[in-house]
């Protein structure tokens, strides 16, 4: 009976110790978060209210922000996780894919792109600008051409070329004249001229005809003399002088006089219509980019996208630390934590450490039970003494 009493006493002390240890640990854990707000009796605030975390939430948010920026979201972490060759290749592939989808291989015509950019009136504006420029240039050309003499208006190189070709022109004229004189057509022409001359002289013409013989023989004589005249060296020199003299006269004439009968307006209108027809802006814009540039996707993938992405990554790495400082991640984390309700913070912490907190409660109960057993043994020993 005495042994049973001893055992029950020890067990009772162990139960009480375990109960006290478990409850106190559980209460201590709860007091980390609760109560969420300060409690008052009258104007006196109850001690330990609010809980530790609600009371120190501002300090917790500040420390959490520092921890995130100093140990979690560091520049080295971004370099290792984001600014890597693999990530660069994925970004290149992503950008090139979007460029192909929406631009380089899109079915949208150039007119569609102009419409999206709010420049749907661009073809008309280009045509109007082009016609204005053509008008300015043509009128300027007209002013230059019609002002002054031929000698002043015509380029010196052209004038020199004309003068260099005067002997060639004289040779050509004499050659053609000789061919004509020696031809049947030339003989007939001379025959007609002589007959008309003799007939026009009446009796005197008949006397000449009797003197020189029949007109046929006279034609032959005239034809031969004409050929000698054409082949004579002095004839060529004379013709050169005559052509050169006429050319000098032309050089001194006003261009306005030479072009007075020229219809500039019709020529200008034809030039403008030709330019518009050849330009055909509206028709040319009614095609997609891929039709004008079928190799665009391949070319940009090899020459443009890698350079752009490489430049962006180089700039990102160079400005990484400064950018993170400007982002002020610690302040962002602090502000976010400050806005969390205490219940959310409690769920956040307990969601991570609920099992560990339960083990702390169990450990408190276990230690309390052991302490209760020790106390029971000590109490029994002292009572026995």
- Asked whether 255 and 146 are in contact (CB, 8 A), the reply is yes
Lowest mean pLDDT among 91-95, 189-193, 294-298: 189-193
The pLDDT of residue 385 is: 47
Q: Name every residue whose Cβ is closer than 8 Å to that of residue 381 and which is 6 or more positions away in sequence.
A: none
In this model, does residue 201 exceed pLDDT 60? no
The pLDDT of residue 60 is: 72
Q: What percent of the chain has pLDDT over 70?
A: 84
Quote the radius of gyration of the chain (alpha carbons, Å): 57
State the average pLDDT over residues 150-162: 84
What pTM was estimated for this model as a whole?
Answer: 0.53
- Asked whether 186 and 220 are in contact (CB, 8 A), the reply is no
Cα-based distances in Å from 176 to 166, 179, 182, 292, 343 = 15, 5, 10, 55, 116
Closest of 378, 266, 264, 369 to residue 25, by C-alpha:
369
- Asked whether 163 and 154 are in contact (CB, 8 A), the reply is no
The pLDDT of residue 205 is: 47
State the average pLDDT over residues 133-141: 87
- Asked whether 37 and 341 are in contact (CB, 8 A), the reply is no
- Asked whether 223 and 183 are in contact (CB, 8 A), the reply is no
Query: pLDDT by residue (tens digit) across 236-255?
Result: 888 888 988 888 888 888 87
Element (H, E) at 72: none
219: exposed, middle or buried (Cβ count in 10 Å: 0-12, 13-18, 19+): buried
- Asked whether 64 and 334 are in contact (CB, 8 A), the reply is yes
Query: pLDDT by residue (tens digit) across 327-348?
Result: 777 778 777 777 767 676 667 6
State the average pLDDT over residues 106-127: 84
Q: Produce one character per residue of 8-19: b if its CB has 16 or more CB atoms within 10 Å, e if not.
A: eebeebbebbbe
Structure tokens at 232: 């004579």
């Amino acid at each position: 009976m005495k042994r049973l009493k001893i055992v029950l006493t020890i067990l009772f002390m162990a139960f009480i110790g375990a109960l006290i240890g478990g409850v106190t640990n559980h209460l201590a854990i709860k007091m980390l978060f609760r109560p969420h707000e300060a409690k008052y009796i009258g104007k006196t605030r109850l001690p330990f209210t609010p809980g530790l975390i609600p009371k120190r939430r501002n300090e917790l948010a500040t420390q959490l922000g520092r921890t995130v920026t100093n140990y979690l979201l560091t520049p080295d972490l971004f370099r290792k996780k984001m600014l890597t060759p693999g990530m660069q290749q994925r970004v290149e592939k992503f950008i090139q894919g979007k460029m192909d989808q929406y631009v380089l291989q899109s079915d949208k015509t150039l007119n569609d792109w102009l419409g999206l950019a709010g420049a749907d009136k661009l073809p008309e504006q280009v045509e109007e600008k082009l016609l204005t420029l053509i008008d300015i240039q043509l009128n300027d050309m007209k002013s230059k051409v019609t002002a002054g003499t031929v000698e002043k208006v015509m380029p010196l190189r052209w004038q020199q070329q004309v003068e260099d070709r005067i002997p060639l022109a004289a040779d050509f004229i004499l050659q053609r004249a000789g061919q004509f004189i020696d031809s049947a057509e030339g003989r007939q022409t001379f025959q007609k001229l002589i007959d008309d001359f003799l007939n026009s002289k009446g009796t005197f013409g008949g006397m000449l005809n009797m003197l020189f013989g029949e007109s046929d023989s006279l034609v032959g004589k005239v034809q031969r003399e004409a050929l000698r005249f054409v082949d004579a060296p002095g004839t060529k020199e004379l013709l050169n002088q005559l052509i050169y003299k006429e050319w000098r006269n032309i050089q001194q004439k006003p261009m306005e006089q030479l072009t007075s009968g020229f219809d500039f307006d019709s020529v200008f209108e034809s030039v403008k219509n030709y330019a518009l027809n050849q330009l055909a802006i509206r028709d040319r814009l009614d095609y997609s980019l891929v039709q004008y540039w079928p190799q665009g996707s391949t070319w940009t993938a090899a020459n443009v996208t890698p350079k752009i992405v490489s430049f962006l990554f180089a700039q990102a790495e160079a400005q990484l630390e400064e950018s993170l400082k400007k982002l002020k991640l610690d302040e962002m984390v602090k502000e976010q934590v400050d806005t969390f309700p205490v219940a959310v913070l409690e769920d956040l912490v307990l969601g991570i450490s609920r099992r560990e907190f339960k083990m702390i409660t169990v450990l408190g109960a276990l230690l309390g039970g052991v302490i209760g057993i020790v106390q029971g043994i000590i109490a029994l020993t002292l009572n026995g003494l």
